[in-house]
Structure 1
Amino acid sequence: MKHLSFLFQYITNPKTVGAVLQSSTFLGDKMVEGINFQKAKYIIEYGPGTGVFTEHLLEKRNRKTIILLVENNKEFYNLLKEKLKEEKNVYIVHGSAENIEQYIFDCGIPYADYVISGLPFASLPKQVSNNILLNTTRILKKDGEFITFQYTKFKKAFIEKFFKKIDVKREIRNFPPAFVFSCAMSEKKMGEYDGVQDSYC
């Protein structure tokens, strides 16, 4: 059922969904293998879709870790709300990752240890991609990581404008095969968030 939902959303929203099929569990494993789940307090996921990567995060996380999911597709958002309604410390926002600073403020999240992304930067408008990546650098801890996957290395040079260190791994057990980019900054571009606000999520 999830596969049919994903295919339908790709047909109706090809620029924002970006793939005909949902990601494989093998790609999910590779996306989260570099996360220190014992120390991570706040993990954010952009574009969770049907929740393939989210399932990996929930399986491996410390139960006190807060996970924020940002999904722009209404159908996927509704699916996730129903699927994860019993999960503790999981916030789900319907909106664009461009507004991540507002979302973490509303949810009382002071910073992100990790941001993982299923967004198709190759098909998103350049200014949207620019806003998302810039705002991601603003919310990440100094030693935080942004982890994304793409089907080509075409956008690597663009992402390097925001993250100076990028480790690339390939996962062929996915259709189509994908590259996982683990991105880190040499230093913070903006001041780190500090203090926790009241939660409104």
Structure 2
Amino acid sequence: MAPSSRRLATEVTLPVPESGDPVVVELGPGTGAFTGLIQELLGGRGHHLAVEINPRLASSLAERFPRVQVLNDEAAALPRLLAERGLGVADAVISGLPWASLDLTTQRTTLDSVRRSLAPQGAFTTFGYVHATYLSSARRFRRMLGSSFEEVVPGRTVWGNLPPAFVYHARRPRPRLAPATLDLLVAQVGARAAASTGMRF
């Protein structure tokens, strides 16, 4: 896969606040395709945390973007990482994680960490590749998004990306639910999506 394009980066970074001193978290920044644009949008304001599990990539990012707090850790540790820095909750979480390639447990724990780390009016964006839409893991992640957030809106396809991709815009994180209730909600979201699109989720 090629690094994400500027067009995709523009779509993914839409929730970065235009004013104030926001807390913006980037998960899985990789080679920094979104990092530079987030820095441009912040213009020296607020806090920008980039959580990267690969130590080599984390080191490279820290050298290239000295104003970014690059943390070599897993995305699921986000609530702890914010608390350790006295930041409370994030105003925006922007993800470059390959959700469709993650197993069920990792998807669930990581997305739950995102949900718990967002401010009530915060926003979460991530992207998926068009060709992977029909993978069972990708459909499962879409159901999890619907059970974790009250509003989930898929953006238009970014054909200028290689491969073509689209962005999920999620807002209003739901309260934490018991596992059994969460599983039921995930199933209901999948059923509603299948009924409205004719697809099996």
Report what 2:169 is aligned to: 182
Deviation of 1:26 (Å): 0.8
Q: Is the 8 A contact 1:37 1:62 kept in 2?
A: no
Q: What stretches of structure 1 of length at least 5 have no aligned partner?
A: 1-19, 191-201
Q: Is the 8 A contact 2:16 2:42 kept in 1?
A: no
CA RMSD after TM alignment: 1.7
Q: How is 1:49-198 mapped onto 2 (pairs within 5 angstroms)?
A: 49-85=30-66, 87=67, 90-152=68-130, 153=133, 154=139, 155-169=141-155, 170-185=157-172, 187-189=174-176
SS of 1:81's equivalent in the other structure is helix
CA deviation digits over 1:120-164, x for unaligned, max 9?
A: 110011111101111111111111011001114433223212112
Q: Is the 8 A contact 2:91 2:119 kept in 1?
A: yes
Structure 2 residue 28 is the aligned partner of structure 1 residue 44: no
Query: Structure 2: how far apart are the matches of 1:188 and 1:112?
Result: 16
TM-score scaled by length of structure 2: 0.78
TM-score scaled by length of structure 1: 0.78
Query: Structure 1: how far apart are the matches of 2:128 and 2:21?
Result: 24
Q: Is the 8 A contact 1:28 1:53 kept in 2?
A: yes
Change (3 A) 1:124 1:108: same
Q: What stretches of structure 2 of length at least 5 have no aligned partner?
A: 134-138, 178-201
